[in-house]
């Protein structure tokens, strides 16, 4: 590969160096922040043999090159130019400047609420199970066990302001422990319980001549969000004027006292009023317009996903659940219908398409939609072919209309598709499943009726296959050993289209049992990536291997990862390469599934997995010939 020619060719099709604000790369992709994406010649980029895909997301224009080659293309592209080279963190900040204020606001809310979703899901699931158990007589609603479990189920909602405060502190650049203390102030036991507010304010006190209502904000969302945002400004302002010698004493004290007082006097009442206004407005729309609201929201949701604004919905849904007059999430079932509809359209593409490449992406993407993950189907299949995306919107509208008509609701946030059955409100299960069938089937049928125009097949990118090859008769072959202990799964199960679509090559994936990664071959370390989450290896015979620990782990920026080798090191099979904090990866990333990919697959007649299921270190997993 002529990397210089390729780098300069990409630069030309991007509109030249003057169109690039910043560029970096991860294990497989160039990530660029462009001044004007309209100047990009996307078709010409996609036509380049070495380019495996291009897309724009979250203010970044990304070009999939493949491991090993991407860093060389990156170096060739920026050599001799004035292009600003940035790391992934800087690139993300640049990208955020490119999105509009609404998208930036939505992303901020997403960053706050995504980390606390597990707590809300756990509480919502337990709440649903308790309701079912009491209805069917499995547990006595007056028993001590029920009261104890009921306390477990509502704890996340009662103490929601503390969870939100701690998470929001990072986004609003303030001390997370001061923020948590502020959340504690807003739900202090001395304050009137928020759920009894309908009976009127029972106690007020006078502070500096101003009346402060002794009302708590248990289960509320907006008051603590606004309060922590204000706290960030107060803390940063105080640090500018408080002498350094007194900073550790005065700044925390004045920050907490000032924000606490302002929160109880102004922010809390206004935040509650605004939050209740949004929740009750949606409830009125839901009850008044009925199925029409489900049709509209279900049909438009996937389009909203493309803009990124959907990230803000977690806050609205949490507000619905925590409002004592509503106490249920009637929006999430609609989003679930839209997500599953994308899967129905994708599987129809699988059956109707002739392209092996499209088929290889469509089938696993459809399965991912049933599990609530739609990116691969939307960006890799349906939106790419346009008409399937329209068909999915129709399916989402049909399913959304049905679940609203039948009053389906959920007890938590963040879980859709088949896993969403765990948090469906008791009595709604049958209608939820019927809605999924309507959405999936409607999108499937509409895709077949509308059809689509396929892109030209690019045979030189397909996996070279020869089903008649007898492994025993191969003159030359190499065996890869397992680099980690866990369970082998197919690449199609990886929740990332770059890997599941085999855009980087053939291979397998492993769901790890621990965080240790060892070398699968004797060879040389080509690249330990900046975030320490991936390693590129060249075997002694020239096989290029990428081991990528987890999905979206590049966003962890090296946290939780330790490397034991450096670029250029000679290694033997079994040498330790990476140690990862598996629990931290589970918490911070999309998945721990680790792809092991042969990135120069096209150089070989056969790349074949030798094993499925449980695997231990150094077991034979892949043959290359």
Residue 504 main-chain phi, psi, to 5 deg: -100, -10
| End-to-end Cα separation, the chain, in angstroms | 21
Is the Cα dihedral 396, 372, 550, 163 positive or negative?
Answer: positive
Is the Cα dihedral 224, 227, 232, 235 positive or negative?
Answer: negative
Q: What is the 3-state secondary structure (H, E, C) of 278-294?
A: HHHHHHHHHHHHCHHHH
Cross-strand bridge partners of residue 20 = 34
Cross-strand bridge partners of residue 563 = 578
Cross-strand bridge partners of residue 518 = 576
Contacts of 444 (CB under 8 A, 6+ apart): 344, 345, 347, 348, 395
Out of 26, 112, 531, 577, the active site residue is 26
Contacts of 16 (CB under 8 A, 6+ apart): none
Q: How far apart are CA 267 and CA 272, in angstroms?
A: 8
Token pair 């007194």 is found at 246
Q: Which alpha helices (H) appear in 136-221, and where do they start and end? A: 144-158, 160-171, 176-186
Q: How far apart are CA 494 and CA 573, in angstroms?
A: 25
Answer yes or no: are the C-beta atoms of 301 and 392 closer than 8 Å: no
Answer yes or no: are the C-beta atoms of 520 and 507 closer than 8 Å: no
Helix axes 160-171, 101-113, angle to 10 degrees: 130
Strand stretches in 202-307, DSSP E: 204-207, 210-213
Indicate if 26 belongs to the active site. Answer: yes
Answer yes or no: are the C-beta atoms of 306 and 57 closer than 8 Å: no
- What is the set of active-site residues? 26
């Amino acid at each position: 590969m002529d990397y210089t020619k390729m780098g300069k060719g990409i630069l030309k099709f991007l509109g030249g160096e003057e169109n690039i604000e910043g560029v970096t790369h991860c294990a497989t992709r160039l990530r660029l922040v462009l001044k004007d994406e309209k100047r990009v010649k996307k078709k010409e980029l996609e036509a380049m043999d070495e380019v495996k895909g291009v897309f724009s997301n979250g203010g970044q224009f990304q070009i999939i090159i493949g491991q090993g080659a991407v860093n060389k293309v990156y170096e060739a592209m920026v050599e001799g130019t004035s292009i600003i080279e940035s790391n992934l963190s800087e690139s993300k900040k640049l990208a955020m400047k490119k999105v509009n204020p609404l998208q930036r606001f939505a992303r901020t809310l997403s960053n706050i609420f995504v980390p606390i979703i597990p707590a809300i899901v756990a509480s919502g699931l337990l709440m649903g199970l308790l309701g079912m158990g009491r209805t069917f007589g499995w547990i006595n609603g007056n028993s001590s066990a029920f009261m104890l479990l009921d306390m477990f189920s509502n704890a996340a909602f009662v103490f929601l302001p503390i969870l939100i405060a701690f998470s929001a502190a990072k986004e609003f650049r303030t001390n997370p422990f001061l923020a948590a203390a502020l959340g504690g102030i807003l739900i202090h036991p001395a304050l009137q319980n928020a759920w009894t507010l309908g009976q009127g304010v029972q106690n007020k006190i006078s502070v500096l001549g101003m009346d402060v209502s002794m009302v708590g904000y248990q289960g509320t969302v907006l008051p603590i969000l606004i309060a922590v945002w204000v706290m960030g400004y107060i803390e940063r302002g105080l640090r500018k004027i408080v002498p350094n010698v007194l900073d550790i004493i005065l700044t925390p004290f004045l920050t907490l006292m000032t924000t606490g007082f302002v929160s109880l006097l102004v922010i809390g009442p206004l935040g509650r009023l605004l939050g209740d206004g949004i929740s009750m407005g949606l409830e009125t729309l839901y009850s008044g317009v009925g199925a029409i609201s489900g049709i509209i929201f279900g049909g438009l949701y996937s389009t909203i996903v493309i803009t990124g604004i959907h990230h803000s919905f977690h806050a609205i849904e949490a507000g619905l659940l925590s409002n004592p007059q509503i106490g249920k999430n009637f929006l999430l079932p609609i989003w679930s219908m839209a997500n599953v509809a994308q899967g129905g359209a994708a599987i129809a593409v699988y059956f109707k398409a002739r392209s092996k490449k499209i088929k290889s992406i469509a089938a696993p993407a459809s399965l991912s939609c049933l599990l609530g993950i739609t990116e691969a189907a939307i960006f890799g299949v349906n939106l790419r072919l346009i008409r399937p995306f329209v068909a999915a919107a129709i399916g989402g509208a049909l399913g959304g209309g049905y679940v609203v008509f039948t009053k389906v609701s959920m007890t938590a946030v963040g879980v859709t598709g088949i896993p969403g059955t765990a948090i469906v409100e008791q009595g709604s299960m049958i209608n939820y499943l019927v809605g999924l069938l309507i959405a999936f089937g409607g999108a499937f049928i509409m895709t077949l009726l509308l059809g689509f125009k396929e892109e030209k097949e690019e045979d030189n990118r397909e996996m070279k296959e020869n089903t008649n090859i007898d492994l025993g008769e191969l003159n030359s072959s190499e065996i890869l050993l397992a680099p980690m202990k866990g369970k082998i799964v197919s690449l199609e199960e990886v929740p990332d289209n770059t890997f599941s679509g085999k855009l980087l090559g053939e291979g397998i994936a492993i769901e790890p049992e621990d965080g240790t990664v060892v070398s699968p071959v004797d060879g040389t370390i080509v690249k330990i990536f900046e975030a320490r989450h991936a390693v590129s290896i060249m075997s002694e015979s020239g096989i290029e291997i990428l081991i990528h620990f987890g999905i979206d782990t590049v966003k962890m920026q090296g946290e939780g990862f330790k490397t034991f080798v450096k670029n250029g090191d000679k290694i033997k099979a079994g040498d330790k390469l990476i140690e990862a904090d598996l629990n931290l990866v589970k918490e911070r990333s999309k998945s721990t599934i680790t792809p092991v990919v042969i990135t120069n697959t096209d150089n070989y007649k056969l790349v074949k997995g030798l094993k499925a299921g449980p695997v231990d270190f150094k077991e034979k997993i892949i043959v290359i010939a």
